[in-house]
């Protein structure tokens, strides 16, 4: 992996008050190489200050004094490596983001899933890179639907939704299911009324929606322990941090993890390319259907 050629000027122009003895170009390159190796995330030279601001607290807490010493420690300490990856992931999302995906899911995928349930089949979905949970709970509420009585019955069926992320702090927030009262404003009013409650200044995800979701830490670049295919996968605004070969490998794996007839939803600026094109056909804006059903 290479970084942009203007790294030296980045440090010269944008690092006032930071001693080269504490953090320099070599340190940034070393961090960028570690994050790319471990998580597939690209850190261009413009992220040099972000790396400093996010890792400086860890460097101080370690008592090692310099980034170079901390990086050497990270390379031999799995716990510190995990903290480093956590610090350098981006976890920005919101409820009902890219609403057309949930509208398509409600109109096209959900009826197929209900038919599967009625034929005695299990339903399995995956929110890959779920961040702080807004996506997976938007999906879950959409699956339960606008009719609370029907949704209560659906919640008792064989439905499981995996929500995975590499960042421990994001998973912790997601698993708590508690958000600011205004965070759910983009949700359709009846979904919010049916599947959340208001407690003081918080919107709390209801037990029916929470019961369907299992949160797990998972590095998308590593081994996937799941063996059962999914009918629906959401992996949105995750690949924007990867280079093209990494994107192609990931989307090919996602396609393979879909059951025939399943749907893959990706971010608005992301595209399917590479080997996955043989398995997936576009059926809407950044919505793909696995061939074979």
Active site residues: 54, 165
CA-wise closest residue to 243 among 55, 82, 3, 71: 3
Contact by Cβ (8 Å): 171, 131: no
Lookup: tokens for 278: 């043989």
Cα 37 to Cα 30: distance, rounded to the nearest angstrom: 11
CA-wise closest residue to 218 among 177, 171, 264: 171
Contact by Cβ (8 Å): 164, 126: yes
CA-wise closest residue to 158 among 147, 143, 136: 143
């Amino acid at each position: 992996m290479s970084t942009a050629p203007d790294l030296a000027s980045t440090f010269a122009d944008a690092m006032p008050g930071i001693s080269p003895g504490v953090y320099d170009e070599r340190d940034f390159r070393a961090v960028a190489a570690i994050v790319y190796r471990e998580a597939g995330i690209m850190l261009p030279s413009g992220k040099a200050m972000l790396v400093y601001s996010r890792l400086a607290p860890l460097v101080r807490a370690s008592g090692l004094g310099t980034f170079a010493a901390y990086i050497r420690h990270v390379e031999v300490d799995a716990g510190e490596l995990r903290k480093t990856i956590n610090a350098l992931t981006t976890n920005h999302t919101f409820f009902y983001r890219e609403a057309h995906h949930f509208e398509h899911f409600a109109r096209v995928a959900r009826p197929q899933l209900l038919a599967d349930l009625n034929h005695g089949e299990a339903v399995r979905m995956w929110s890959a890179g779920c961040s702080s949970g807004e996506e997976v709970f938007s999906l879950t509420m959409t699956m339960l639907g606008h009719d609370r009585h029907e949704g209560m019955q659906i919640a008792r069926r064989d439905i499981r939704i995996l929500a995975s992320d590499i960042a421990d702090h994001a998973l912790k927030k997601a698993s708590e299911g508690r958000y600011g009262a205004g965070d759910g404003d983009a949700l359709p009013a009846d979904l919010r009324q049916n599947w959340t409650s208001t407690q003081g200044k918080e919107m709390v995800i209801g037990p029916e929606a929470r019961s369907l979701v299992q949160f797990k830490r998972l590095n998308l670049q590593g081994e996937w322990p799941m063996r059962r295919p999914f009918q629906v996968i959401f992996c949105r605004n995750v690949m924007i941090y990867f280079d093209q070969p990494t994107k192609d490998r990931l989307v090919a794996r996602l396609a393979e993890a879909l059951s025939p007839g399943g749907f893959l939803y990706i971010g608005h600026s992301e595209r399917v390319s590479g080997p996955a094109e043989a398995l997936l056909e576009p059926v809407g804006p950044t919505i793909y259907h696995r061939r074979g059903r």
